[in-house]
Amino acid sequence: MALADELLFHAEKLIKVSEDSLPSQADLRRSVSASYYSVFHLLLSEGADLLLKNPEIEAVRELAQRSVTHSQMKNVCMYLAKPYQGLPEKLRRFAPEPNPAEIMLIAKSFGNLQALRLKADYQIKWEITNNVAQDAVYDAKEVFSNWQLLKTSRPEAALRFVSILLFFDRYQN
């Protein structure tokens, strides 16, 4: 099982309510974090697969996947959550037109998940609830399904999307 799938599975497992126990605050916080990281690794690993000719060379994959920071991905997702007309001028030539609904949904979910992950990991006084963790797991699942849909129905848009994710924040024009 790929790391992204494992993390999503783990996120869901952590918040399962059993007959004799409820998820603890630690379980819920780790679940939100795992939901976010499942999406983070899904997009980077799929991005490397699409962009590299020899993704089986582990070091090359790693180079691609580790060349992007969380804040770079968030910045790009802030742009891509909008329709094509709302994109910055210098991004338009790289983005698919129109910007597919799947990309806008993935971008919105990524922004939400990253913000939730930061709160879950660092805002100690925030009492996290099962609903928040379920919301995050569902968000991650939506990213997985929207990515599959995009990849199969709009392969060129998928390629443009991952290229922007991996490179645009450092693009100098």
Partner 1 sequence: MHKFEHLPDYWSRDEELLNSVPDNLPVEVEDIVYRKNLSFMEDDPIWDIVVVIPDSSDLKMSDWALLHKFRNKLMDIIFPRDWDRFPMVSFKSISEAKKEYGFS
**Residues binding partner 1 (CB under 8 A):** 12, 71, 74, 78, 81-82, 86, 105, 108, 111-112, 115, 118-119, 122-123, 126-127, 129-132, 134-135, 137-139, 142
- Please list, residue by residue across 25-62, b when 16 or more beta carbons sit within 10 angstroms of its beta carbon and e when fewer do: eebbbbbbbbbbbbbbbbbbbbbbebeeeebeeeeebe
CA quadruple 137, 41, 91, 51: dihedral, nearest 10 = -140
User: Least distance to partner 1 from the beta carbon of 6, Å?
Assistant: 18
Task: Pick the closest to residue 29 from 130, 142, 110 (CA basis).
Answer: 130
Q: Which CB sits closer to partner 1, 67 or 71?
A: 71
User: Least distance to partner 1 from the beta carbon of 148, Å?
Assistant: 16
Q: Which CB sits closer to partner 1, 55 or 111?
A: 111
User: Least distance to partner 1 from the beta carbon of 32, Å?
Assistant: 12
User: Least distance to partner 1 from the beta carbon of 73, Å?
Assistant: 12
Cis check for the bond before 98: say yes or no (omega within 30 of 0): yes
Q: Which CB sits closer to partner 1, 57 or 123?
A: 123
Q: Which CB sits closer to partner 1, 104 or 162?
A: 104
Q: For residue 46, which amino acid is it?
A: E
